[in-house]
Amino acid sequence: MDALKRQITFVLGLLLLLTAASVKAERLLDLVDIQGVRNNPLIGYGLIVGLNGTGDKSTEFTDQSLKNLLREFGVTQAGTDLKSKNVAAVSVHATLTPFVRPGQRIDISVSSLGDAKSLSGGTLLMTGLKGIDGEIYAVAQGDLVVGGAGASGGGASVMINTLTVGRIPNGAIVERGVPSSFASNREIVLNLRDPGFSTARRIVQAVNHKFGPDVARARDSASIVIAAPPDSSERVTFMAVLENLNVDAAAPPARVIVNSRTGTVVIGQNVTVLPAAVSHGSLIVTINEGADVSQPEAESLGQTVVTPNTEVTIEQQRGALFMLPEEASLQDIISAINSVGASPADLMSILQALKQAGALRAELIVI
């Protein structure tokens, strides 16, 4: 009897372990964004110089920008059409990361605005990078690195990747930072990347279990408020522990994503269907265009006439009928549809018909 109890206890314990292992825990950092801690895009307009004849050729704003640049250095080109092929107008963009400080460097990307063929070998002149408020937050300058390559000759050309886009690692110096409310607010707000009441509740439970009761509370399905230490050093330590907490995220909603342009169909794991019988077939229409020639007899007054000959045939493929059992799983759906050799287009039609019939228990999203 004792041996039987031990066996039952062992089996129950093994089932609990398998159930726990089937639920994948995720780091809290991967589930939420911290309010007030965000990236900020920057953009600027500048000139690339030093190109080997591959710059802008017929772009008026490039000539105007070059004239304005020369005018700042006391060089006047009144009434002269520059048309310098070694210069190209570009847009410069970068991302200002959170807590960046003046004097630090960030990477920048450069893209051609005109008809330049290549930016390879060029140098970006000093360019101010502005934020959404119109203020300059960084200054960019440096030699451009282009990942593409190209060659031409005898009327033929070969190009690998794109020659009109490049990067400058550490190409911009930060002049001013963006104020953040992270250190000044008494509370820290976590915004869920995939809002859900179940996930929000589990995060609150995990935080309160680690730091004590009433430390975290859910405001709604998308945000959680956490009482953080007021001292900045303690707050950093608190966040380091917080972001590495393991949380069992709730199962995602049942969804079927259909891309009508590429024929891609993605079916979520939780998708099920009610009992349904599906029959799917198709028609093949073939049209052959030909011509018949009517030749008159010799020494007659008739003329040779060409008449069109069109043949239209319609072939109906044999439809296949398959049964979907009650509460069919993802594997059941795939196996049933694959058994009749359905194509992605057929699969999209079947899924849409099941949704209209009320048998598909999932959100059908067509993009």
Same domain, 263 and 344: yes
Q: What is the mean pLDDT of residues 233-237?
A: 86
Q: Which of 110-119, 190-199, 256-265 has the lowest mean pLDDT?
A: 256-265
> Which tens digit of pLDDT belongs to each residue from 8-34?
344 334 333 434 444 467 888 888 988
Q: Which of 37-46, 182-191, 217-226 has the lowest mean pLDDT?
A: 182-191
- Is residue 363 within 8 Å of 268, Cβ to Cβ? no
Tokens of 252: 């995602």
Q: How many CB atoms lie within 10 A of CB 255?
A: 14
Same domain, 113 and 164: yes
Q: Which of 45-59, 115-129, 217-231, 351-365 has the lowest mean pLDDT?
A: 351-365
* pTM score of the predicted model: 0.65
Amino acid (1-letter code) at residue 198: S
Same domain, 56 and 163: yes
Same domain, 280 and 220: no
> Which tens digit of pLDDT belongs to each residue from 342-357?
666 777 777 777 788 7
Tokens of 139: 């200054």
- Residue 138 forms part of a structural domain: yes
Residue that the structure tokens 């639920």 belong to:
23
- Residue 52 forms part of a structural domain: yes
> Which tens digit of pLDDT belongs to each residue from 114-167?
888 889 889 999 999 999 999 999 999 999 998 866 655 555 556 666 888 999
Q: What is the mean pLDDT of residues 265-292?
A: 66
Same domain, 241 and 278: no
Higher pLDDT, 87 or 253: 87
Q: What is the mean pLDDT of residues 60-67?
A: 84
Same domain, 213 and 269: no
Q: What is the mean pLDDT of residues 288-317?
A: 64
Look at residue 301 in the predicted model and tell me its pLDDT: 65
Q: What is the mean pLDDT of residues 179-185?
A: 77
Residue that the structure tokens 């960019």 belong to:
140
| Residue 287 pLDDT greater than 90, yes or no | no
Q: What is the mean pLDDT of residues 104-112?
A: 94
Distance CA 96, CA 35 (A): 16
Look at residue 328 in the predicted model and tell me its pLDDT: 63
Same domain, 232 and 262: no
Distance CA 102, CA 168 (A): 19
- Taking alpha carbons only, the member of 186, 109, 97 closest to residue 145 is 109
Look at residue 3 in the predicted model and tell me its pLDDT: 46
Q: Which residues pair with residue 161 across a beta bridge?
A: none
Same domain, 218 and 167: no
Look at residue 172 in the predicted model and tell me its pLDDT: 95
- Residue 29 forms part of a structural domain: no
Look at residue 349 in the predicted model and tell me its pLDDT: 76
Same domain, 270 and 319: yes
- Residue 352 forms part of a structural domain: yes
DSSP 71: H
- Is residue 98 within 8 Å of 54, Cβ to Cβ? no
Look at residue 243 in the predicted model and tell me its pLDDT: 86
| Of the residues 248, 266, 282, the one at which a domain ends | 248
- For residue 196, name the pLDDT band (cuts at 50, 70, 90): confident
- Residue 277 forms part of a structural domain: yes
- The number of distinct structural domains making up the chain is 3
- Taking alpha carbons only, the member of 242, 233, 230, 239 closest to residue 186 is 230
| Of the residues 215, 232, 248, the one at which a domain ends | 248
Same domain, 204 and 315: no
Distance CA 84, CA 82 (A): 5
Same domain, 362 and 267: yes
86 phi, psi to nearest 5 deg: -100, 10
Look at residue 5 in the predicted model and tell me its pLDDT: 41
Average pLDDT score, the chain: 78
Look at residue 70 in the predicted model and tell me its pLDDT: 83
Pairing type for strands 320-324 and 187-192 reads: unpaired
- Residue 61 forms part of a structural domain: yes
Look at residue 44 in the predicted model and tell me its pLDDT: 95
Distance CA 299, CA 297 (A): 6
Look at residue 317 in the predicted model and tell me its pLDDT: 57
- Residue 13 forms part of a structural domain: no
Look at residue 302 in the predicted model and tell me its pLDDT: 66
- For residue 299, name the pLDDT band (cuts at 50, 70, 90): low
Look at residue 14 in the predicted model and tell me its pLDDT: 38
211: exposed, middle or buried (C-beta count within 10 Å: 0-12, 13-18, 19+)?
A: middle
Residues 6 or more apart in contact with residue 323 via CB below 8 angstroms = 275, 276, 277, 278, 336
Q: How many CB atoms lie within 10 A of CB 44?
A: 23
- Residue 231 forms part of a structural domain: yes
Distance CA 26, CA 59 (A): 52
Same domain, 210 and 280: no
Q: Which of 166-180, 304-318, 346-360 has the lowest mean pLDDT?
A: 304-318
Q: What DSSP assignment string belongs to 227-252?
A: E--SSHHHHHHHHHHHTT-EEEPPPP
Report the largest interatomic distance among the alpha carbons of the chain, rounded to a whole angstrom.
116
What is the domain extent for residue 262?
255-295+305-366
